[in-house]
Amino acid sequence: MRARLISLSIAGFLIGALAGVAFLFVTTPKGGQTVQSSGTALVGGPFSLTGDGKTVTDRDFSGRYMLVFFGFTHCPDICPAELQVIAQALDRLGDKAKKVVPIFITVDPERDTPQAMAEYVKSFGPNFVGLTGSPEAIAAAAKAYRVAYSKIETKDSPGDYTVDHSALVYLMGPDGKYVTHFYYGISAEKLAEKLDKLL
């Protein structure tokens, strides 16, 4: 079964992110008005999750960029495809990639144990960090990053389920603050090009 993206999450992300942006109306020479924005989007924040059997917080990555993606290990297509793009983009960056920590946070804590997450992210590179936690901790992290997700029972296999989720990749700065985000479907080449300019 193909995992589905939550299309409304893009609108939700924009509304939530723009809630922290101040708007400035500027009068043009012809008397019209344009809108310029300033400030910082309200995306990201402190988290306390579990990685490879130990507590991991956002402070553990202070001084480095975080490339954060939410998904789950049972995801058949979207998650592995996006993580592969991230891995390839970081390979293209060469030594600059040392400034970045790729972080995969599960939205399926029921199945994604710390061991499962650690084993899963190894497939994409030695520097990938897989994080899980209690349902409450995952919900708090997802809310901070404006991530939408929902558990969907599968009709063909009673008791089995998938998780629909948004699929944005977030770049957080060395200070832990939001820098920008990338949409699902971006190529490794384009992602590397954009990261190269931002790092």
Q: What are phi and psi of 136, to 5 degrees?
A: -70, -40
- Range 45-74 average pLDDT: 95
Instruction: Give tens-digit pLDDT for 113-130.
Output: 999 999 999 999 999 999
Look up the pTM and report it: 0.81
Mean of pLDDT values over 79-104: 97
SS (H, E, C) 129-176: EEEECCHHHHHHHHHHCCCCEEEEECCCCCCCEEEEECCCEEEECCCC
**Residue type at 54 in one-letter notation:** K
Give dist(CA 145, CA 21) in Å, integer. Answer: 15
- The string of pLDDT tens digits covering residues 20-59 is 443 333 344 454 444 444 456 688 889 999 998 899 999 9
H helices of the chain, in order, are: 8-18, 78-93, 114-121, 135-144, 188-198
Identify the pLDDT of residue 154. 82
- Quickly state the pLDDT bin for 4 (edges 50, 70, 90): low
> Is residue 192 within 8 Å of residue 184, measured between CB atoms?
no
Of 87 and 28, which is predicted with more confidence? 87
What would the pLDDT profile of 173-182 be if each residue is shown by its tens digit?
A: 999 999 999 9
Q: Which tokens sit at 123?
A: 């497939």
Residue 123 belongs to what H/E stretch?
A: none
What proportion of the chain, given as a percentage, has pLDDT over 90?
72
Q: What is the pLDDT of residue 5?
A: 52
Average pLDDT over the chain reads 84
Contact 106, 112 (CB under 8 A): yes
* Domain 8-198 = CATH 3.40.640.10: no
Q: Which residue reads 């971006």 in tokens? A: 186
